[in-house]
Amino acid sequence: MAATTVTPAVPRPAAAGPAGADSVAVPLALPLPVLHSTVLGWYEANARDLPWRTPEATPWAVMVSEFMLQQTPVKRVLPAWAAWLERWPTPADLAAEAPGEAVRMWGRLGYPRRALRLHAAAVAITEEHGGGVPDDHATLLSLPGVGEYTAAAVASFAFRQRHVVLDTNVRRVFARAVTGVEYPAQATTAAERRTATALLPADAETAATWAVAVMELGALVCTARGPECGDCPLFTACVWQRAGCPPYEGPARRGQSYEGTDRQVRGKLLAVLRAEHGTVEQARLDAVWPDPVQRARALDGLVADGLVEPVEQGVYRLPQ
């Protein structure tokens, strides 16, 4: 079958060259409609049964899931998400509480600044947007803790709109299937965005399902390590596969050291504060880490971030 050339949905300015000169050649050996039906069919048969994907899931429930899923695996999010929504079924419910309660409820999901930002987003929704999660991308993007990905995800998944949803899974699927490399670059490029735009179904409802379907393919089959190419619906079309699965070439991908870092100390300090419902004396915090310099730096950082509130000299608590 001949390779299909896909023209971007949003053409570049004419000044960039003759018409079509800047079109994105997508050497996927599949016509676009076949690509769509292949991935959508795979999704229908293989999608996980996740609670935030059910018709009963409110936009707020979808938004909470997106915050929690930022860098945290689905398995750990599932129970936390259910407990969160049980306690705070609407943005107003969360906004009515102290930010420290959000931090406490966040538990051990990691990156607790997300809890603070989710609380701040709930306050903004309640005070500035009539209590309902905004349905347009730009307004979503203006909320604390909502970046390009999360705004597109909420608009797409909760409101069934047509958006390019580029997360780490989608980027990896396109890197392999379309570009023919094992891993995408560290930062999202304009070329990636053009490719994703070119492949997005025209119909909004279809595009919304397409977005979650490609993500799911990346999460379940086209994984970072040990992809199950034998189970992949794009096996025969995949450019990386056709090239013989060449290994990643490029700069070493950044590792996340943790042992001995300020992050580890912050985690230990905050764990003490989370477990204590009142105030905490300095001595209890001093017990979590031997180095007083690093300990002080970590605590200062938590205070600067608003995750910890100094009450008086040597006494701290979660923010009220």
Examine the residue annotation and report whether 66 is marked as an active-site residue of this protein: yes
Q: Of 66, 182, 192, 216, which one is the catalytic site residue?
A: 66
Q: Residue 125: which H helix or E strand, with range?
A: helix 113-128
In angstroms, rounded to a whole number, what is the distance separating the alpha carbons of residues 199 and 237?
14
* 36 phi/psi in degrees, rounded to 5: -60, -50
In angstroms, rounded to a whole number, what is the distance separating the alpha carbons of residues 6 and 178?
11
Provide the minimum distance between the beta carbon of 63 and DNA in the complex, in angstroms, as a whole number: 11
Provide the minimum distance between the beta carbon of 183 and DNA in the complex, in angstroms, as a whole number: 7
Nearer to DNA, 30 or 232 (CB): 232
In angstroms, rounded to a whole number, what is the distance separating the alpha carbons of residues 167 and 122?
23
Nearer to DNA, 202 or 245 (CB): 245
Provide the minimum distance between the beta carbon of 18 and DNA in the complex, in angstroms, as a whole number: 29
Give the side-chain half-sphere CA count within 13 A for 36.
Answer: 17
- Name residue 150's amino acid: T
- Name residue 12's amino acid: R
In angstroms, rounded to a whole number, what is the distance separating the alpha carbons of residues 294 and 23?
53
Residues of this chain that interact with DNA (CB under 7 A) are 50, 52-53, 65-66, 69-74, 76, 108-113, 117, 144-151, 153, 167-169, 172, 183, 186-187, 212, 215-216, 218-219, 223-226, 252-258, 261-264, 266-268, 270-271, 301, 307
Nearer to DNA, 264 or 279 (CB): 264
Nearest 10 degrees: CA dihedral of 183, 185, 186, 187?
A: -140
Provide the minimum distance between the beta carbon of 4 and DNA in the complex, in angstroms, as a whole number: 27
Rounded alpha-carbon distances, angstroms, from residue 113 to 25, 102, 210, 216: 41, 10, 31, 26
Nearer to DNA, 257 or 313 (CB): 257
Provide the minimum distance between the beta carbon of 162 and DNA in the complex, in angstroms, as a whole number: 18
Nearer to DNA, 13 or 225 (CB): 225
Three-state DSSP at 203 gives: coil
Provide the minimum distance between the beta carbon of 143 and DNA in the complex, in angstroms, as a whole number: 7
Q: How many degrees, rounded to 5, is the angle at CA 88 between CA 85 and CA 90?
A: 95
Provide the minimum distance between the beta carbon of 294 and DNA in the complex, in angstroms, as a whole number: 10
Please provide the DSSP assignment of 2-44 as one string. Answer: PPPP---SSPPPGGGSSTTTT------SS-HHHHHHHHHHHHH
DSSP class of residue 259? T
Quote the longest CA-to-CA distance of the chain. 74
The residues with which 309 forms a beta bridge, in sequence order, are 317
Nearer to DNA, 212 or 239 (CB): 212
Nearer to DNA, 131 or 301 (CB): 301
128 touches 33 (CB < 8 A): no
Task: Please give the positions annotated as active site.
Answer: 66
